[in-house]
Structure 1
């Protein structure tokens, strides 16, 4: 990567976003699991469920604090590193983020306090209400952030004003119910549920391997496997919806995910494995599964999926139309009350204005750009295919594995065979422990696909990333990157140490007969139930 302001600003925001998202899915999923466990406690009155909520709640609290701390810096970066982006879309982008803070984050933060400090001050039902409020607030927080992000992927409900040089909301309803945002929300939340389920499943399996906290571990596996199995199935189905939306609104992203250079006859095949060659603009090797991609992306047997080369040719046409809008915009800005014909010309071509901005890194004068410069600008709209192709397949492979793993443990838990597994099939428990990091891998791959696949656009089809950055020096951005890396590394060490400390300590097993430790007699107590 070249040390230019655009690349460094992208690196900084990408690094902080991916780091922040280490905490988000676990917070989203654990909040709902806690509410579910506490609901069982209130319904049954059995103290063991209360101890489960308190234990997993401690881990939730550690994760929640780190998530808040790392998320705050991201919003400040909009003003620091992406000043023109903030000025260009502040009227649209700022509203969901403000609502997220007022409606969701304050609600979430308030009831988190009641969750931790209200056990002896609230009734059972009141505390349960506070726990569910935390879960609802956490999910609402994700909703509003993803509405903002979804608008960047599919900008509807707003128009560009040539007089103010800003995007302005025309329909908040369209912004709110943006189909891309809604698809991203349900898919992201499902991924969070899977992450928390695999975390609880893995930690509980470790307790079974160690012969500790057996009663709590068995019940935790029962909840996590059932919840995780449903969530894993949902994540796959809802991911399919995201793919369908990408075919409607982000065709280049879909083509690069599939390494589809040429437009194929419908229905298109799915590249199971491929070796993309960006230099030759073809696949050096590919194993194809007929019809699958066409069915997934178009849900029909007749609709074509355009390949990368066809989309590049379309981009060239849009760049030429965008130059007309660019020329009209310069005339509107250079003279007050530009005549009606100029404004009409701009309105007719403004949907392609963003494509004219693609020329700026290649041409000093977009109006007189050469065919070679237009060709270079059009190909710059193609993300690097190799990482997109394999990131998607890693994510999908993880998703299918999660379905299998949670299904197996759901069956074992339902059939009462977990103790048998702990004695005779310990390798299953080892797999569950080793699988703990995999949901984070899948989540990070998903965000990489969503954000890197949108490049070179910061707002799809409207504003290139290269035109959105602040007027900073390379040194200034590089120093902040180093500072963030040091700070976030320290926070990561703190997070891991705290998590491991409380996992090793384990939950409170409650009062047990005699002076024997809970760890020793727990298997005996369970066997006697």
Structure 2
């Protein structure tokens, strides 16, 4: 394998690994804030117990997300130094905004939330977790602004003298149509993940307690968490569907090759169907591909809103791209502008398919908890455990489709203009980092991430099976039952978990 293949493999592996933790943090922070808000407003102790329980899981996930995210920054300057040289003037701005306006706020207020349970008044302490929740989502906005610019460059010009893209309109970068389609889809997917996480764990505990004869505790503590998770899943599921539909239509305009590759559509057709299965050679040759179990016109509808609209095939798009861009390989032959059809076709379907796991849990959990009921059905407990993984897998396959479907571009051309602001992936890799260096770091990261995965799982498992505490006391200074220690101001902050 050459340095390009290894660099792509390393970036893909580390990015997908990091993104496992991202949607849970984005979605769970607001849910923990909602739980604490209900406690502050109602004074019901069970919501304080739920806040502490899910807050502990949030902190574990947040910590490993930060650790794995740092690696991404280093890869830009090392394995992908040519890419960074080309886009650094544009790409660096939203990343700097993410650090200054979002991550620093997020980490600062998270520290106040962790250590401030017995130091801050309840409403001030509540404000800190809401600051964390808002800044977490703001962080996602700036990261997506950078990624969306790679999908659809705007607000930049090509400087022929320096050979770089240079930003001339930060407003255009932050109002990019691709960004405002991707952001709602990513955020609603994160809420779907967090809702599934809360409902899945709470449903498993509910079943366990009912079967152990502790029906009152199951009804009083865990059923409200199940209901909250189910409501979030229903709302987020609708949001994912609507925003995904908008993204698909925009993708058809901006990256038609990606949309056609999602269906492995080799030839241009009117009213393109959506297939559940394709057999044959899903390589770039596109020979002998047969679609089985089709929904007539659905792909055309997803792309344009018209069930009979024509959709260009990848072979016709290949010819158009050859005429427009004219890149050739070392032998002088036109390069392939088609992504790997097998990956794009199946990642698109796996994204949708795994998303149905959350839908199944939402429907069954709603049914067994209706009208104040609780359930001890082992099937619900098993479904809760299985469904926990499905939104994480759906999000991961969604990112695989988004990034692999853009190939061979690392900065995809804007079909409506911005001449020259595009970059092939093969031109973005470093010219001085050797294959051996990349392979060594890839092996090191694989081993390190494997160790981190073990620690993450053991910590999440340990605190999940401990369950919600039997009681929690309000330690805030505005609780009249607390005696104020005159020496409290001199004591160091204590970790509340």
1:480 Cα shift? 0.3
CA shift, 1:146, in A, is 0.5
Aligned partners of 2:132 and 2:187: how far apart in 1? 15
Is the alpha carbon distance of 1:47 and 1:399 closer, same or farther for their aligned partners in structure 2, counting shifts above 3 Å?
same
Is 1:417 the counterpart of 2:373? The answer is yes
Change (3 A) 1:401 1:494: closer
Partner of 2:37: 39
Distance across 2 between alignment mates of 1:270 and 1:142 = 31
Q: Which has the larger radius of gyration?
A: 1
Normalising by structure 2, report the TM-score: 0.89
Q: Does 1:394 align with 2:394?
A: no
Find out whether 1:255 has 2:260 as its counterpart: yes
Report the counterpart of residue 435 of structure 1 in structure 2.
387
Give how far 1:511 is off. Answer: 7.6
Q: Give me the TM-score of the superposition, normalised by structure 1.
A: 0.83
In structure 1, how many angstroms separate the alpha carbons of the residues matched to 2:180 and 2:14? Answer: 24
After superposition, the Cα gap between the structure-2 partners of 1:138 and 1:417, relative to the gap in structure 1 and judged at 3 Å, is same
**Which position in structure 2 is the counterpart of 1:472?**
433
CA distance in structure 2 between the aligned counterparts of 1:511 and 1:70, rounded to whole angstroms: 33
The structure with more helix, counted as a fraction of residues: 1
Matched, 1:498 2:459: yes
Change (3 A) 1:385 1:472: same
Q: Among 135, 138, 152, which residue is 1:137 paired with?
A: 135
Give the root-mean-square deviation of aligned CA atoms: 1.6
Residues 271 and 286 in structure 1, CA contact (< 8 A), matched pair in contact too: yes
Q: Distance in 2 between matches of 1:435 and 1:201?
A: 10
Please name the residue that 1:488 is paired with: 449
Aligned residue for 1:362? 330
8 Å Cα contact 1:233/1:403 also seen in 2: no
1:281 to partner: Cα distance: 3.0
Distance 1:49 1:308 in 2: 53
1:149 positional shift: 0.3
Q: 1:426 aligns with which of 357, 378, 394?
A: 378
1:151 is aligned, of 149, 152, 158, to: 149
3-state SS of 1:271 partner: strand
1:84 is matched with which residue? Answer: 82
Deviation at 1:490, TM superposition (A): 0.8
Aligned-partner SS, 2:146? helix
Contact kept in structure 2, 1:261 and 1:282, CA below 8 Å: no
CA contact (8 A) 1:30 1:196 kept: yes
TM-superposition CA deviations, 1:185-239 (whole Å, max 9, x none): 1111111111111111121122123217523211211111111111122112211
Where does the alignment leave 5 or more consecutive residues of structure 1 unmatched? 321-355, 364-368, 513-529
Deviation of 1:291 (Å): 1.6
Measure how far apart 1:280 and its partner are. Answer: 4.7
Work out whether residues 204 and 380 of structure 2, in 8 Å CA contact, stay in contact via their aligned partners in 1: no
Distance 2:207 2:294 in 1: 42
Cα distance in 2, alignment partners of residues 168 and 280 from structure 1 = 38
Q: Which has the higher contact order (CA 8 A, sep 6+)?
A: 2
**1: CA distance between counterparts of 2:94 and 2:134?**
17
- Check conservation: 1:259, 1:271, Cα contact below 8 A: no
* Alignment match, 1:519: none
Over 6 Å off, 4+ runs: none
In the TM superposition, what is the alpha-carbon distance from 1:382 to its structure 2 partner? 0.8
Aligned to 1:6: 4
Q: CA deviation at 1:495?
A: 0.5
- 2:60 match: 62
What CA distance in whole angstroms lies between the structure 2 residues aligned with 1:300 and 1:204? 42
Kindly indicate whether the alpha-carbon contact (under 8 Å) linking 1:259 and 1:276 is maintained by their aligned counterparts in 2: no
In 1, distance between residues paired with 2:142 and 2:369? 36
1:308 corresponds to which of 314, 337, 351: 314
Is it true that 1:22 corresponds to 2:27 in the alignment?
no
What residue is the counterpart of 1:230 in the other structure?
Answer: 235
Contact persistence 1:89–1:167 (CA under 8 A): yes
1:118 Cα offset (Å): 1.1
User: What is aligned with 2:272?
Assistant: 268
Check 1:262–1:385 CA distance in 2 against 1; reply closer, same or farther (3 A cut): same
Counterpart selection for 2:225 from 208, 220, 232 = 220
**How many pairs are equivalent?**
455
